[in-house]
Amino acid sequence: MQSLIDRGSHVCVFVSLWSLCLHLCILLGPPSPSCPPSFKGVGQGAGTVQSFSQVVRDRTSVWGGKVSSRVGALSSCVGVSLSAWWRLQGVSLVLVVKEIHCRGQRLDRSVVMGHSGSGWLFLALASMCFLSLVRPSWSRKEHTSNFAVIISTSRYWFNYRHNANALSVYHSVKRLGIPDENIILMLPDDLACDPRNIYRAQMFNSHDHKINLYEDVEVDYRGYDVTIERFLQVLRGRHDKHTPRNQRMDSDGQSNILIYMTGHGGDEFLKFQDQVEISSQDFADAFSEMHEKNRYNEILFIVDTCQAGTLGNAVTAPNVLSVGSSLKNENSYSWSNDNDIGVTLIDRFTRAMMLFFENIKVRSDGSSDRTLQDLFNWLHRSDLRSHIGINQKNYHRKLSQIPVTDFFGSAIDIHVTSKGY
């Protein structure tokens, strides 16, 4: 239906404006000696328009009973428009055919451009077309849920920082309100239990070792289960019937989805397990399928890898905002090395993003006054040694008007109480 409306948008605009101007001239013209028109509806939905016009006629009769046909016509026009708008909100749109009567006598139906039933029918059809066209901007519903898919694609001890990147983002979105059941976490290696880790069952992202990233963590896919096939299954919703609930993303058309990935990559590809690669076209195909299946409202696709800005080049699905830690021919760099653990603990891009989220304040309803534009401005000013890439070709909302909690926080209303339960 939406694609049909899009294809006929120019015709709808022309017909609607032409009809509006035509009937505006009629309404402003000399009043007719006839009485206000009376509608007799045929088919479902007639009662809505008839009752609206009846209210207008009743009230005008109390005022004196002398109302020109312009007022009756205007009330009828508004009634038809309201009925059409209501039907377009989700109830089935029913074409209502009206006959105009005046003092018990039918008007001349050959006069298409005058106060005839066919003229008002034409106005009703034009109004429906126009309202169908503008409906997405008028009645766009706010999203009702947030999901996060967080993945480290690298194995081995020397890639410690990639797992720490993913765990850092995981704890940030949990702190901002996204529950574990709405988070898919994929870690290809259990580095917290690696024999070379002197801090058993612990992982850190800073030199002070204050925050144990491996505490209170629910890993949904680990080890060799972290594959391109499993990742695409999560996005597309194509699971084996025995797949447990915690490994599924049950999103819908009112869900905002944060997809964060970190690992080794290059120009339009990202490595999985340091063996196979997923391309920008694979991401594009997955997002297009998600759009066809109505599995998301908006997607924020963030990748921390070398030349990450190229991974969104092939995406054509609507409402997808792609962000990369570096542009084409640029590397993404790690933060400083930790002398105790012997490896780098986090990448510069993810570290800067975590510092931003540490300083934001969340209101009692789960929202924040910090926007995506604030986040990107912060990243631009940070010492990344690369330039972040933001691909907005399929995303048309203003970044300065989008709270970061639209993707990184909870969409559930939170009410703070002073009493425990």
Q: Which residue has the higher pLDDT, 259 or 7?
A: 259
| pLDDT at 127 (0 to 100) | 54
Beta-ladder partners of 269: 266, 279
Kindly give, in sequence order, each residue whose CB lies less than 8 Å from that of residue 155, ignoring residues fewer than 6 positions away. Answer: 188, 189, 273, 274
Angle at 373 between CA 368 and CA 376, to 5 degrees: 110
Q: Which residue has the higher pLDDT, 48 or 366?
A: 366
Residue in the structure block whose two tokens are 């105790």: 340
Residue 173 has pLDDT above 90, yes or no: yes
Q: Which residue has the higher pLDDT, 109 or 161?
A: 161
Q: How confident is the model at residue 130 (pLDDT cuts 50, 70, 90)?
A: low
**pLDDT tens-place string over residues 295-335:** 999 999 999 999 999 999 999 999 999 999 999 999 999 99
- Catalytic (active site) residue 239: no
The answer to whether the pTM exceeds 0.75 is no
User: What percent of the chain clears pLDDT 90, i.e. is strictly above it?
Assistant: 58
Residue in the structure block whose two tokens are 């290696």: 189
Most confident of the ranges 13-27, 68-82, 120-134, 281-295: 281-295
| pLDDT at 414 (0 to 100) | 53
| pLDDT at 143 (0 to 100) | 86
Q: How confident is the model at residue 140 (pLDDT cuts 50, 70, 90)?
A: very low
SS3 content of the chain, % helix, strand, coil (to 5): 40, 15, 45
Total residues belonging to the chain: 421
- Catalytic (active site) residue 35: no
**Residues 249-271: b if buried by 16+ CB within 10 A, e if exposed:** bebeeebbbbbbbbbbbbebbbb
**pLDDT tens-place string over residues 325-352:** 999 999 999 998 999 999 999 999 999 9
| pLDDT at 20 (0 to 100) | 53
Q: Which residue has the higher pLDDT, 51 or 370?
A: 370
* Angle (deg, nearest 10), helices 117-138 and 9-28: 130
| pLDDT at 70 (0 to 100) | 44
| pLDDT at 124 (0 to 100) | 53
Which residue, among 22, 11, 9, 139, has the nearest Cα to 73 in the 3D structure?
22
Radius of gyration of the chain (CA): 29
Which tokens in the block code for residue 32?
A: 């007719």
- Using a 10 angstrom Cβ sphere, with 0-12 exposed, 13-18 middle and 19 or more buried, the burial of residue 353 is buried
Which residue, among 279, 388, 267, has the nearest Cα to 328 in the 3D structure?
267
Tell me the residue type at 157: W
Which tokens in the block code for residue 301?
A: 């696709």
| pLDDT at 204 (0 to 100) | 96
**Residues 384 and 349 sit within 8 Å (Cβ to Cβ):** yes
| pLDDT at 332 (0 to 100) | 96
**pLDDT tens-place string over residues 77-127:** 444 444 444 444 443 333 333 333 333 444 443 343 344 444 545 555 555
| pLDDT at 190 (0 to 100) | 86
Domains and CATH numbers, the chain: 2-138 (no CATH), 145-408 (3.40.50.1460)
| pLDDT at 21 (0 to 100) | 56
pLDDT, average across residues 224-247: 95
Residue of 207, 209, 239, 264 with catalytic role: 264
| pLDDT at 129 (0 to 100) | 53
Beta-ladder partners of 97: 42
Phi-psi category of residue 342: left, alpha or beta, with phi > 0 → left and psi -120 to 50 → alpha: left
Residue 74 has pLDDT above 50, yes or no: no
**Residues 32 and 68 sit within 8 Å (Cβ to Cβ):** yes
| pLDDT at 65 (0 to 100) | 41
Residue 419 C-alpha from the chain's centroid = 35
| pLDDT at 317 (0 to 100) | 98
Which residue, among 13, 29, 6, has the nearest Cα to 127 in the 3D structure?
13
**pLDDT tens-place string over residues 257-278:** 999 999 999 999 999 998 899 9
* Distance between CA atoms of residues 350 and 191, nearest Å: 19
Helix (H) or strand (E) holding 233: helix 228-236
Residue of 25, 306, 380, 396 with catalytic role: 306
